Amino acid sequence: MRPERLFLISLAIVLLLAMSQTVLAQPQPNQYYGKDSGEISGYVLGVSGQPVDWAAIYATNDQNKYEAFSGMSGFYALEVPAATYNLTVKVPGYEALVTNATVKSGSTTKMNFSVNTISVAVSGGSSSVINFYLQQNQTPVPEFQPGLSLTLVMSTLVMLLLIRRSAKSRQR
């Protein structure tokens, strides 16, 4: 095998491994798919009716804790054992909501939520108030994926190496 091909294959493997880290960084909801399960589903919407994505919905009772996240349309779905749950909805920048829901086996309990924004006064252009709020609520900022910066740096280096190699081969 020529060294160029070996280099490109190893480079592709490194890139795939770096990108798999980004995929694995996504939050994985805790669901239940066993016997006697039911579903809690609905939409998380803002005050004016716009969908709210990345809302964390927690269903807890004395024995278990389940979680799901709303998608771009604001829709979420939780598969849980039949029981009564305390539902909590948390979204960065919005007030948390808490309510109860009873789930029956084989049925779907519809729960739609309308969340209110939190007004945060930031003085002097500082973002420390917002950072403090996110840290106190242990809220991850879902728009930033830690593995993404590594993937971008590696992709840029690969592109620079390939451009440099092709420029050298043209000079010969």
pLDDT at 117: 85
Total-model pTM: 0.57
The domain in which residue 16 lies consists of 3-25+145-171
Q: How far is 61 from 75, CA to CA, in rounded Å?
A: 22
Domain co-membership, 49 together with 110: yes
Q: Tell me if 133 is assigned to some domain.
A: no
In this structure, are 111 and 62 located in the same domain? yes
Same domain, 111 and 80: yes
Regarding whether 113 and 43 lie in a shared domain, the answer is yes
Residues 41 and 20 placed together within one structural domain of the fold: no
Query: Which of 67-71, 135-139, 156-160, 163-167 is predicted least confidently?
Result: 135-139
For the chain, give the mean pLDDT: 79
Same domain, 104 and 73: yes
Q: Give the pLDDT of residue 85.
A: 96
Q: Do 44 and 103 fall into the same domain?
A: yes
Q: What is the mean pLDDT of residues 91-116?
A: 93
User: CA angle at residue 154 from 149 to 160, to 5 degrees?
Assistant: 130
Number of domains comprising the chain: 2
Tell me, what's the pLDDT at 40? Answer: 95
pLDDT in tens, 18-71: 665 544 444 556 777 778 899 999 999 998 999 998 899 999 999 889 999 998
- Residues 106 and 152 occupy one common structural domain: no
Residues 78 and 149 in one domain: no
Query: Do 87 and 108 lie in a common domain?
Result: yes
What is the distance of C-alpha 120 from the center of its chain? 23
